[in-house]
Structure 1
Amino acid sequence: MEQYFQLAARSISTFDEAFNSYKETLRSPINELLVEEMISQLILHKKNDRIIELYKEAAATGNVKVRQAIALSLQEYDPALDKLLRTMLNDQSYLTRESALFLLWQGNPMERPNILKNARESWNSMSPSLEMAWNALALNSSDFKNNEKYDFLQGISKYTSPEYSPKTRTAAFDYLINLDAMGTQNFRDLMNACFHHNWRFYKNSRDIFEALYKKDESRVLIDRILSTMTDEKQKAIRDLFKV
């Protein structure tokens, strides 16, 4: 803990003052907590060659949590870290893969379809979050055919279903709203979510419903869906939202 507090105190130091402490932190055997603290501090300093080398040295430890911390801390693509990011596309951590994929997609606009295709072909499995991120990036990339984009949209749309976790469903609603692609079943799933037992989830779902109902196009579709529901379910929604 003493080492951690000493390192944490470096957050107010200049990079030159903190550099030796950072190098010391990367000496073997590494302490995962200390390296993660170092990584969180690197973004406070103006990017330079020594910072790039620290990222690479930290990643070279092979520690899953450390590599995840690097990927999540990077706020924009840096060509100097391109090779490192490409290796992260096949890390054990789905979060690392997702962050690396977004950064590479962001920084290489001419390569986007190839980056996406190669990444997906190399994955044996994906988390819901990673699959939705991949599909959202694919939908925002050129060179994919319309029938492919329909499949990409379905790859997000399915996650609003009650069979998935509140966290996954919330992410799916957010993606679809940003893509302006909420379909009939997604609206049904949203209305279902408004009565979920998890209060944070149902509160957020109700906020989403109210925001969408204020939009003419969404309101027309919602009213049409409500008209096909049982009197009991329709009344529950209308009473809840006074619509």
Structure 2
Amino acid sequence: MTTTGRRASRDAQAPGLARLAALIADETRAACLLALLDGRAWTAGELARHAGVAASTVSEHLGKLVAGGLLTEERQGRHRYVRLADARVAQLVEDLAAQVAPGTAEPPRTLAKAGAGAAMARGRTCYDHLAGRLGIAVTDALTERRLLRQDTGFALTDAGLDWFAAAGIGLARTGRRPLARGCLDWTERRPHLAGVAGAALCRHALDAGWCVRIGSERAVKVTDLGERMLSQLLGIAPTALR
């Protein structure tokens, strides 16, 4: 391809990139996208309360996000629910959030906000996998035990595949989603485990009662059972999870 041809190809992508950037570059829409990183479906009313705006205002923003392909919507009776379109959108939002320099975010104005922020940093879901100090602790433990490799990109070793099977955590390797992928953690500034393996581990942790969701944010807390199981299976000290 000639230089002119390559330039034309790049230029053809510019309008789409500009539209995507403009779609995200609104504080209310950004707040909605960050809230939806919990992987669940939210109503417009729930997102309006979260973002601190009127329901009519958030409905307009959600319409733009749906039209732009970042959200999908479902209707059940009188209720309209929205969720992130897929894992690629979640990765985009999390990666962008990770680029916000430490100290530039607005400090919490209340003790409740500060407490919620601390809980999110301790442990949370990032779309469908574990993040925060909890996600990093699990990722580090898998790596130290040579169950996960990070030297050439994230990849489960044969021993890692055996570990997931022995722990009763199924890995449904279908579709184009990678088995293991690194996702930059916006509070820890290091990658945690995502992909099929990350999603399966998070789902198992919630279903088995190792972790429970707390508050209205994405925060999760490791239970006493979770501390015992993560210590037994990965050698993670309970103090590292608190």
What's the TM-score, normalizing by structure 2?
0.28
Rg: which structure is higher? 1
Greater share of residues in helix: 1
Structure with the bigger RCO (C-alpha within 8 Å, sep 6+) is 2
